[in-house]
Structure formats: C-alpha cells, structure tokens
C-alpha cells in the first residue's frame, strides 16, 4: 500500500513478471503477476508438426482498506495450458487446460478479539481435448462452482481461540460432452450435466491446557444435495433404469460429520509429542483411468445415487526434538490411514461419451501407513535437511486382482531426500537436492496370446511389478548481483537438473518393434508376426538452465 515494486525472472523456457503498488496511498493497492512460456519456437524446429505449446497465467489483486475495521480484497486468476500438434496430414489435435477464479473477501473486525472474513468465490476449470481443430471437433469437461463462506475467529481468552464458520456452495459439473462440426454430424444425445449444492458448518477450538499441553478439537458438518435437471441411470433387476429429474428437484442427499482432534505436549527439554486424528469426506470425484506419466483425462463427477462420498480417517503420532540451543531438529511422524469408497475402474472403462459413466466404476477400500523422519538444520552457513519415509499404500476393490489387496499406484515404500544449502561467499550460494524413491508399481503381463498375428498381453495381477527406483541429483548456484544495500535486488541462477543424467523410467512397454535404425515404434504390418521388444520411456536426463531474477 506504500510504494511501487517489481519482481521479475527471465529464464530459457519461461518468464514471469509481477508488479505491485498503491493506487490511493494507504487505501487502495494492487498486485498483478503473469507468467508465459516461450519454448514453442525451438521445439517447433525439432518437430514441425507441433502446432502450439505454451502455458500462461495472470493473477491480479486489489486491496481496499475502507477503514480501521473493514477491508476488501478482490482477486482474479486465469491460466491456460495448451498443446496442439498435427496428426497425420490435415488433422490437428490437442489438449488444453483452462482455469479461472475470482474471489471477493470482506475482512471485518468486530472487536479486538473477534473478526470475520466473508468470502464470495467463483471458479471454473475446463479440460478440452481437440480431436480435430480444423473441423472444430472437441471434447470438453468442466467443473464450475460458486460459494459464499463466513469464517470467524474469536480470541476468547489468551488460552482459548475459537474458529467457526459456515459455507454454502453450488457445483456444476459437465462429465464430458463432444462438440462437433454440425455441418458434418449431429450428436444424437448429450451427457447429462450434474448440479449439487454443498453446505458446511464448522467449529474448531484451540485450548492451551497448561504450559506443556494444548488441545485442538473440531467438527465439520456437511450437507450435500444433488439437484435437477439431471438424468440418472441405474441397473434394476438386470435392466437399465432411467430417472429424469426436473430443474431444482433435490433427488439425492448425503451428509457427513467429520471430527478432528489434536493434542500437543511440549516438555522443557525441547521435545514435542503430537497426537492427532481427523476424518474427511470428499463429495467431488476425479474420474480418470489414465496411468500416463504425461497427462490424465479428466472427468469430474459428484457423489450421487451411484457414487458414495469417499471417506478417510487418519491417525498420526509425531515427535519433534530440538538439539539444545542449536538450530538442528529431529522430527518423526507415524500415521495410519483408512479409506472407504475408493474408486477404481473396469478394464478399458469407457469414460468418454458414456451417459452411464458410473457403470464403469468399481468401489473398494484403501489403507496406508508409514513413518516419516526428518533431520534438519534450519539456519547458518550450512543448512538443509535429510528426510526418509517408509510407507505402504494398498487398495482392495471388488472385481480387481481377484478381489485381493494390491499396491496402489502411489505405493513407494522408500522415499529419501537430502537437501543441502551452502553459502560459499556472502553473495554466492550452492544448493543441492538429492531424491531417491522406490519405483512405482505397474501391471506387467504374465503371458501373451496371438489374435490375427497381433500379440496381446495377458494379465494376472494388478500392479505386480515395479519400475526401477527413481533417483536424481539437482544442483543450483545462486549468485546475488547486488553489491550495495538498496531496494533493487537481482541475481543469476545457474542450475542443473539431474546432474548425473539418470534415466528414470516412467513407463515400461512390451508392444513395440525395433527398426533397423534403432527406433521403437508400434507395429502396423501384420503380414507376419512382428517381433516385439521391451522398452522403457524416461524423461529428461541432464537439463542445465540459467535464469535472471530481479526485484525492487
């Protein structure tokens, strides 16, 4: 609110710029920030069929101090990620992700001990898959929401703080419709969009019970209503049943009461013991059967007659120790998590243009447990941390893996990272980051068969194999160019991603042939049986980069 400021960074693949300053000193101020990538041009030289590729975003914020007790905050955010490429001779396909939100918040001080935030929020997220840009054919799914919430914080006493509030919101979801050039083809039906309203009440009380002990208890109540117009399908006595609901009709209701509690004990020897339990309910579901390391196909569905809310409960016990008067800490946390109504998919689930999308889903339970440890040094010329996590995560879904538990895609038992920052000179700092993780599980064939000379894999168990372990080392050198004290600050950052060029596979395939030049492609000629090879796909090896950053 006081003075103009600017912060910018220019890199080899993208740049960002943000500015802020007063409009009416001590009353109204603004903040605008944007990013844009420009790696499209060099990549186009490598691949002439690349049509467009960029990401960009813009964030603007306005702060208005009405008086000592009232402030208004207004912000808008929009982002767009686009990829388009030629497929074949005259067809251009692509994907884009678009996001836009706006928020209006009113901060009001009732007394010195009670204040509130009233927030109006709108948001929309769009996912586009263009099957033919020239013809204007695309598939789109989106999720919109509008909500209003009131949050209150009441400092009842120095040892008791109560937070409470309420929220009402309306959600609209388009699970995915295909929009085609109507001169060529008319879609015979539309996939029913879904609407639901959600209301929440919550309260959380933090009480300092003694010098050593504090307690936080809370409860969140949720009411969920699915609202027409909508078409819902179900299977009744083996036949498909269709139910039509009129506009505004509440046709399905659900509720949840999610408690949480945490207890923190601190002894004079700088030891902290923590215990917590929390339960959460999720009423909106991302439906995707993609396991691609590059992108997922995104369909959103609300809870409803065919999908129960996903629920989870987590128990955590933690311990923190500070080593004397040093800046070194040891932290450890063990957790157990149980999940219900987890979503998985039928084999080759048909998720696009399927009016009865829920028929492709399978439901089950999950459980995860683990222990996380971290040793950190938070200040000084040499700082950093060493962390290690031992964890497991399993799912059990009727209809998958002979109904037996199987490792989830996120099951990576060992996760180690070492971050070190060393200030070589007052203006020169070297940082290194080493990461090691067990490879992700994946489903590998257990046999093959032939159909019209096409070799088809046979699967026996879900996630029966693992990718090789993932590890890499990144280095960065930050050179602060500012020699004198002042507002203007600038620095050069040299960094190298994956210094030793580790090939970390993201996928293993068994369906390609090797051409005489060594290229790996999918066979297309089945005059005789193609000789398949196993192949791995990995992302970037070593990537050096340099960027310039300034601010004032």
Partner 1 sequence: MKKMEETYRNFRLRMKHRAWVALTLPLFLLAACQEKIDWDLDLQNNLKLVVEGKITDEVRAHEVKLTLPVFEINGEPEPVSGARVRISDGDSIYELAEDPARSGVYLTDPWVKGDTGKIYTLNIQVENFECWGVAGMSPVSDIKTPSYYRAQSDPALYRFINSGNNDIPNLLRLELDWSAVPGYDTLDEDDNHAIIYMYSFGPLNVDANQVFAPNHEQVLFPPGTLILATKESLSEGYAEYLRGLLSETSWNGGFFDVRPGDPFTNLSEGAIGYFSVCGVKRDTVIFNP
* Interacting residues with partner 1 between 363 and 382 (CB under 8 A): none
CA-nearest of 397, 341, 396, 390 to 369 is: 390
Contact between 522 and 532 (Cβ < 8 Å): no
Would you count residue 74 as binding partner 1 (CB under 8 A)? no
- The distance of Cα 475 from the centroid of its chain, to the nearest Å, equals 25
By CB atoms closer than 10 A (0-12, 13-18, 19+), residue 467 is buried
Q: 444, 473, 476, 477: which one contacts partner 1 (CB under 8 A)? A: 444
Shortest separation between residue 438's beta carbon and partner 1, angstroms: 17
Which of these segments, 62-70, 109-117, 118-126, 458-466, binds partner 1 (CB under 8 A)? 458-466
Among 275, 450, 488, 500, which residue interacts with partner 1 (rule: CB under 8 A)?
450
Q: Which of 69, 453, 500, 552 binds partner 1 (CB under 8 A)?
A: 453
Assess 551 for contact with partner 1 (CB under 8 A). no
* Helix, strand or coil, per DSSP, at residue 351: coil
Other C-beta atoms closer than 10 Å to the C-beta of 492 total: 13
DSSP letter at 304 equals B
**Selected binder of partner 1 within 21, 305, 313, 445 (CB under 8 A):** 445
User: Which residue lies nearer to partner 1 by CB, 189 or 426?
Assistant: 189
Structural element, H or E, at residue 37: strand 28-37
Binding status of residue 349 toward partner 1 by CB under 8 A: yes
Name the DSSP class of 48.
T
> Which range touches partner 1 (CB under 8 A), out of 162-170, 225-233, 322-330, 506-514?
506-514
- Out of 511, 548, 550, 551, the residue judged to bind partner 1 by CB under 8 A: 511
Q: Using the minimum distance from each CB to partner 1, give the nearer residue, 4 or 540.
A: 540
Is residue 53 within the footprint of partner 1 (CB under 8 A)?
yes
| Shortest distance, position 452 Cβ to partner 1, whole Å | 7
Taking CB under 8 A as the rule, does residue 183 contact partner 1? no
d(CA 536, CA 510): 9
Q: Which of positions 219-258 make contact with partner 1 (CB under 8 A)?
A: none
For residue 82, the minimal CB distance to partner 1 (Å) is: 11
Q: What angle do CA 306, 311, 313 make, to 5 degrees?
A: 165
Of all helices (H) and strands (E), which one includes residue 223? strand 213-227
**Which 116-135 residues touch partner 1, going by CB under 8 A?**
129, 131
Q: Which is nearer to partner 1, 95 or 227 (CB)?
A: 95
Least Å distance between CB 228 and partner 1? 25
Dist. CA 381–CA 92, nearest whole Å: 53
Closer residue to partner 1, CB minimum distance, 50 or 168:
50
Stretch that binds partner 1, among 106-114, 162-170, 197-205, 520-528 (CB under 8 A): 520-528
Closest CA to 385 of 394, 393, 396, 373: 373
- Exactly one of 13, 320, 507, 551 binds partner 1 (CB under 8 A); that residue is 507
SS3 assignment, position 464: coil
Q: 3-state class of 145 per DSSP?
A: strand
* Among the residue ranges 152-160, 377-385, 420-428, 448-456, the one whose residues contact partner 1 (CB under 8 A): 448-456
Which of 1, 8, 50, 60 lies at the binding interface for partner 1 (CB under 8 A)? 50
Within residues 265-324, the interface with partner 1 by CB under 8 A covers: 289-297
The three-class DSSP label of residue 44 is helix
Residue selected from 41, 88, 182, 236 as contacting partner 1 according to rule CB under 8 A: 88
With H, G, I as helix, E, B as strand and everything else as coil, classify residue 403. Answer: helix
Nearer to partner 1, 166 or 444 (CB): 444
Whether a cis peptide bond, with omega within 30° of 0, leads into 438 is no
Q: Is 83 in the site for partner 1 (CB under 8 A)?
A: yes
Q: How many Cα atoms are found within 13 Å in the side-chain-facing hemisphere of 445?
A: 12
Size of the site for partner 1 (CB under 8 A): 97
The residue from 259, 540, 542, 546 that contacts partner 1 (CB under 8 A) is 540
Is residue 481 close enough to count as binding partner 1 by CB under 8 A?
no
What DSSP designation does 212 have? Answer: S
- In this structure, which long-range contacts are made by residues 42-46, counting pairs with CB atoms below 8 Å and at least 24 apart in sequence? none
Q: Residue 357, SS3?
A: helix
Does 97 participate in binding partner 1 (rule CB under 8 A)? no
Near partner 1 by CB under 8 A, which window of 144-152, 183-191, 313-321, 482-490?
A: 183-191
Does residue 362 touch partner 1 according to CB under 8 A? no
Task: Select from 143-151, 326-334, 417-425, 503-511 the region that touches partner 1 (CB under 8 A).
Answer: 503-511
Residue 420 in the binding site for partner 1 (CB under 8 A):
no
Residue 537 lies near partner 1 (rule: CB under 8 A): yes
Nearest CA-CA partner of 205 in 154, 166, 281, 256: 154
Gap between the Cα atoms of 99 and 265, Å rounded:
42
Assess 162 for contact with partner 1 (CB under 8 A): no
Q: Is 457 exposed, middle or buried (0-12, 13-18, 19+ CB in 10 A)?
A: middle
Among 69, 410, 503, 545, binds partner 1 (CB under 8 A): 503
Q: 190 and 199 in contact (C-beta within 8 Å)?
A: no
CA dist 263 and 56 (Å) reads 43
């Amino acid at each position: 609110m006081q003075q103009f400021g600017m912060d910018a960074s220019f890199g080899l693949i993208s740049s960002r710029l943000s500015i802020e300053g007063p409009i009416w000193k001590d009353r109204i101020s603004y903040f605008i920030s944007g990013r844009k990538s420009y790696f499209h041009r060099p990549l186009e030289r490598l691949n002439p069929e690349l049509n467009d590729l960029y990401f960009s975003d813009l964030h603007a914020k306005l702060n208005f101090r009405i008086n000592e007790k009232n402030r208004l905050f207004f912000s808008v955010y929009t982002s767009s990620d686009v990829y388009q490429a030629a497929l074949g001779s005259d067809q251009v396909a692509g994907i884009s992700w678009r996001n836009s939100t706006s928020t209006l918040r009113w901060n009001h001080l009732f007394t010195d001990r009670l204040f509130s935030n009233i927030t109006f929020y709108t948001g929309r997220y769009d996912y586009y898959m263009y099957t033919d840009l020239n013809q204007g054919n695309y598939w789109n799914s989106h999720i919109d929401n509008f909500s209003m919430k009131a949050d209150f914080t009441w400092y009842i006493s120095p040892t008791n703080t109560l937070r409470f509030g309420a929220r009402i919101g309306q959600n609209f979801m388009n699970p995915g419709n295909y929009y085609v050039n109507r001169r060529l083809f008319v879609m015979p039906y539309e996939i029913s969009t879904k609407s639901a309203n959600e209301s929440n009440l919550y309260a959380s009380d933090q009480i300092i019970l003694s010098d050593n002990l504090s307690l936080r208890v809370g409860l969140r109540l949720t009411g969920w209503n699915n609202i027409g117009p909508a078409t819902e399908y179900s299977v009744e006595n083996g036949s498909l049943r269709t139910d039509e609901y009129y506009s505004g009709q509440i046709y399905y209701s659900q509720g949840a009461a999610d408690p949480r509690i945490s207890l923190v004990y601190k002894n004079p020897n700088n030891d902290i013991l923590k215990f917590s339990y929390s339960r959460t309910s999720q009423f909106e579901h991302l439906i995707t059967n993609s396991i691609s390391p590059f992108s997922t196909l995104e369909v959103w569905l609300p809870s409803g007659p065919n999908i129960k809310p996903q629920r989870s409960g987590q128990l955590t016990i933690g311990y923190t120790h500070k080593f004397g008067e040093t800046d070194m800490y040891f932290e450890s946390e063990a957790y157990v998590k149980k999940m219900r109504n987890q979503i998985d998919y039928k084999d080759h689930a048909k998720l696009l243009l399927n009016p009865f999308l829920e028929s492709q889903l399978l439901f089950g339970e999950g459980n995860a447990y683990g222990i996380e440890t971290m040793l950190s040094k938070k200040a000084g010329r040499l700082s950093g941390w060493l962390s290690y996590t031992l964890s497991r995560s399993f799912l059990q879904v009727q209809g998958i893996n002979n109904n037996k538990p199987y490792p989830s895609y996120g099951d990576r038992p060992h996760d180690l990272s070492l971050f070190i920052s060393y200030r070589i000179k007052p203006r020169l700092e070297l940082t290194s980051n080493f990461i090691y993780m067990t490879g992700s599980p994946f489903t590998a064939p257990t046999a093959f068969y032939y159909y019209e000379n096409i070799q088809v894999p046979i699967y026996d168990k879900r996630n029966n194999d693992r990718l090789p372990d993932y590890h890499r080392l990144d280095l960065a050198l930050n050179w602060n160019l500012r020699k004198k004290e002042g507002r203007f600050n600038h620095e050069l950052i040299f960094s190298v991603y994956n210094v030793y060029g580790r090939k970390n596979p993201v996928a293993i395939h068994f369906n390609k042939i090797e051409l005489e030049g060594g290229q790996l492609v999918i066979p297309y000629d089945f005059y005789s049986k193609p000789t398949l090879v196993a192949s791995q796909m990995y992302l970037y090896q070593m990537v050096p980069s340099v960027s310039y950053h300034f601010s004032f």
